[in-house]
Amino acid sequence: MRIGNLLGKTAIALCALGLFSTVQAQVSEHTFRISIAGAPGHPSVMGAEKWAELVKQKSGGKMTIKVFPNGLLGGDVQVLSAVQGGTIDFTSMNSGILQSQVKEFAIFDFPFMFENGKEADPILDGAFGKKLADLLPAKNLVNLAYWELGFRNLTNSKRPIAKADDIAGLKIRVIQSPIYIETFNALGANAIPMPITEVYTAMEQKIIDGHENPFSVIETSKFNEVQKFLTVSNHIYNPQSVLASKKKWDSLTKDEQDLLMGAMQEATKWQRDNARALSDQSLTNLKKSMQVSVLPPEETAKIRAKIKPVIDKFAANVGADLVQQLQGELEKGRKK
């Protein structure tokens, strides 16, 4: 009986080994590079590290992803071009930055569009997110997933911002996106587009007065060392697109693509949960070194009124049908 059991277990083990070997035989050895502008501990850097861990595990070590944080391979604009050209394999960046390639992606930069990250998940993972992702292969990009960066909030070294008018006159760094520039200019600020890799030094040297970013980015980039005031404004929710070079993606076998995507699905759920936990913890930590204020609803309403012409302009540019589709899906989700 014992011999029979042993033989049975051995047969099962050999069968499993054979199946494992067959799967491995369909996956070649690859070393990929993913570039991210954020510092170690940034939600997207941690997501990339989780994805790399899963890919290595699922491929039996044959497929390796090397994570390059801190903009080591360049800023967002430079890296995006390199991914399109195939010299960098993957990147993760704010989805709104892609409006330079596909105008419809500007919709992800619309202020006050989402109320929380969880309501964004089904929209990004569903038909709406796919509709936009399907526009990218023509630009030599493949959108593998949408990750979360979170809600952006305002910092500065000059004064507390308790009302909408307090923003006027401040030199505020914004990401290299037209809607950010026009939004802050409409609020009376002097919007200065700049790669995140230059922001710490620019604030330290008083070239700019402040910037806006999610809590976790403010903390991991140590911006609290050169900024005194933090305003909880939650003015824009940032999904991040995880992008592959189409040239690289098309060179992979279907089994390799499936393995990467299977690991990506697991990494995406983990990344979103982690990003939300990091946001709460980062705000708690930042309160120890920064003066934190929260914009009251009536002041948020004033901001909305001031920037309405900007939103109307970009809504017309991306298309009324697209805006209505997103708003319709949001309303449907909020009724559940």
What pLDDT, in 10s, does the model give residues 295-309?
999 999 999 999 999
Domain edges within the chain: 26-149+238-280, 153-236+284-335
Phi, psi values for residue 312, rounded to 5°: -60, -40
User: What is d(CA 140, CA 93) in angstroms, rounded to the nearest whole number?
Assistant: 16
Q: Which CATH class is domain 153-236+284-335?
A: alpha beta
Is the pLDDT at 33 greater than 60? The verdict is yes
Is the pLDDT at 260 greater than 60? The verdict is yes
E-only strand ranges, the chain: 30-35, 63-68, 90-94, 141-151, 153-156, 171-174, 190-193, 210-213, 229-232, 237-245, 291-294
pLDDT at 22: 38
Work out the average pLDDT over 236-255.
97
Sign of CA dihedral 152, 157, 162, 165: negative
Half-sphere exposure of 108 (CA within 13 A, CB side): 31
Domains 26-149+238-280 and 153-236+284-335 share a fold: yes
pLDDT digits (tens, 9 = 90+) for 52-81: 999 999 999 999 999 999 999 998 999 999
CATH topology of domain 26-149+238-280: D-Maltodextrin-Binding Protein; domain 2 (3.40.190)
Phi, psi values for residue 144, rounded to 5°: -85, -30
> Which three-class secondary structure state does DSSP give residue 45?
helix
Q: Name the amino acid, one letter, at 199.
A: V
Q: What is the pTM of this model?
A: 0.86
Q: Name the amino acid, one letter, at 167.
A: I
Is the pLDDT at 281 greater than 60? The verdict is yes
User: What is d(CA 67, CA 26) in angstroms, rounded to the nearest whole number?
Assistant: 24
User: What is d(CA 263, CA 99) in angstroms, rounded to the nearest whole number?
Assistant: 27
Instruction: Give me the chain's average pLDDT, please.
Output: 92
